[in-house]
A = this chain, B = another copy of it.
Amino acid sequence: MRVGLLGLGTVGSGTAKILLDPAHRHPLVGQIELARVGVRSLYKPRSVAIEGDRLTTDLESIVSDPTIDVVVEVMGGLEPARSLILKAIAHSKHVVTANKAVIARYGDEIFTAANEAGIYVMLEAAVAGGIPVIQPLKQALGVNRIRAVTGIINGTTNYILTRMQREKGDFEAILADAQRLGYAEADPSADVDGLDAADKIAILASLAFGGRIKLSEVYSEGIRQVTAADIAYAERLGFVIKLLAIARRDGEFDETSDQALDQLQLRVHPTLVPVSHPLASVNDVYNAILIEGDPVGQVMFFGPGAGEGPTASAVVSDLLNLAANLRAGTTPKATNPLLACSHQHYCKVSPMADIVSRFYVRLLAEDAPGVIGKLGTCFGRHRVSLESIVQIGQHETRAEIVIVSHEVTEANFQTALDELRDYAEIHSVASVLRVL
């Protein structure tokens, strides 16, 4: 099997290193030939030695090369990655990609083209780096009725939140330090605003629930507003704060229908997670994905969510899978239904207003009698049942009050909160977070 690699950055170099050094790995790895490598500059110093005649800056020539069987796209970015993937498919090449941004936005176009051409598009490396999660979702867990996929799938934000918790530090300072150390990008928005996690949960949801996802329907809220105070109060209440990406089936299965009720919740937001929950102890840059299904129950996958080695391991595992399947099949066409994309309809996504969850609110109010009663009355009027209202601290003449609700719809909760904001006794609603 001859492979054309597009990109020789971190993931590309890691992929080349594995392919060029197959000893002590699965014997099939030795039969995967790194035939051509497309790069932006031929003369850049690199951590892996590729002979000059395999290197080219003409990426188009790789995706149309008749001697290439599989194209590995590890360039990142939307264009020209998307166009090159589509051209590779048009030239009957199977595709392996680590590009979550392209798949989350153009998966529809790409998988439609792939299905028509009888081509596999593999993406283990696009979500959660070295953790095998795409393949188990497609295969081992596919016999289950999946209820939910809940993940810590952005390493940068998990690193920042973990440090905020350990050091009792504030977001801005720790973000700056993470940038200095290379754990966060100069422009950190994709990570800290939850956009990267949204891309990834859209991909996981599509596989778990067997339908396509419009990325614009994934609710996404980042961690910029999480403060050291919230983390400390959460800890007192028995929680840690994690940026969770959640895809959850809304409502029960319709037993009278063959079709799954594809009504999903899709959301990324900082969340109070009980300390005893399996995701609570996932710290630093590690990722983890908890999958709940019937009858398997809860299964969790944990590991490194990024980095050269882990992501390259995922890329080459897709190549291994392709090599095994192409050898087993009669034609180079995609025929294994577990590797191909099997759905074309779109999942229905519930609006956030309808989502039921628990809330944590921290607010600053007058330190005066009757305030807590007034808060309770307002929430009660909007059918928000509370688990606790606690005056937890004081800032000069202001009382700091932390409220935890029982389950309530987002709409009712936000209406109550809007009303509270107008009360003369309420100085500010400092944070609003959801509780798992």
Contacts and interface: CB of A to CB of B under 8 A. Distances in A.
Interface string A263-306: 00000000000000010010000000000011111111111100
Contacts of A29: 142-143
Interface stretch (A66-74, A81-89, A94-102, A318-326): A318-326
B132 A257 contact: no
Contacts of A139: 132, 135, 317, 320-321, 324
Contacts of A304: 296-299
A144 interface: yes
A140 B132 contact: yes
A299 B295 contact: no
Contact of A25 (B143, B281, B302, B330): B143
Interface stretch (A104-112, A193-201, A333-341): A333-341
Given A328-B336, A329-B328, A337-B28, A320 B143 contact: yes
A375 to B, nearest CB: 36
A412 to B, nearest CB: 30
Interface residues of A, number: 68
A297 to B, nearest CB: 5
Contacts of A316: 143
B308 A295 contact: yes
A339 B301 CA distance: 22
Given A25-B142, A258-B23, A324-B336, A295 B136 contact: no
A255 B255 CA distance: 57
26 contacts: A17-B295, A23-B257, A23-B258, A26-B143, A26-B210, A28-B338, A29-B142, A132-B141, A139-B321, A139-B324, A140-B313, A142-B317, A295-B310, A295-B312, A297-B304, A297-B309, A299-B301, A299-B304, A300-B302, A301-B302, A302-B302, A320-B338, A325-B336, A327-B336, A328-B328, A328-B329
Interface of A: 14, 17-18, 23-29, 124, 130-132, 135-136, 139-145, 210, 253, 255, 257-260, 278, 281, 293-304, 307-310, 312-314, 316-317, 319-321, 324-325, 327-330, 335-339, 342
Question: Which 7 residue pairs spanning A and B have beta carbons closest together?
Answer: A295-B309, A132-B140, A299-B303, A26-B142, A296-B313, A300-B302, A328-B336
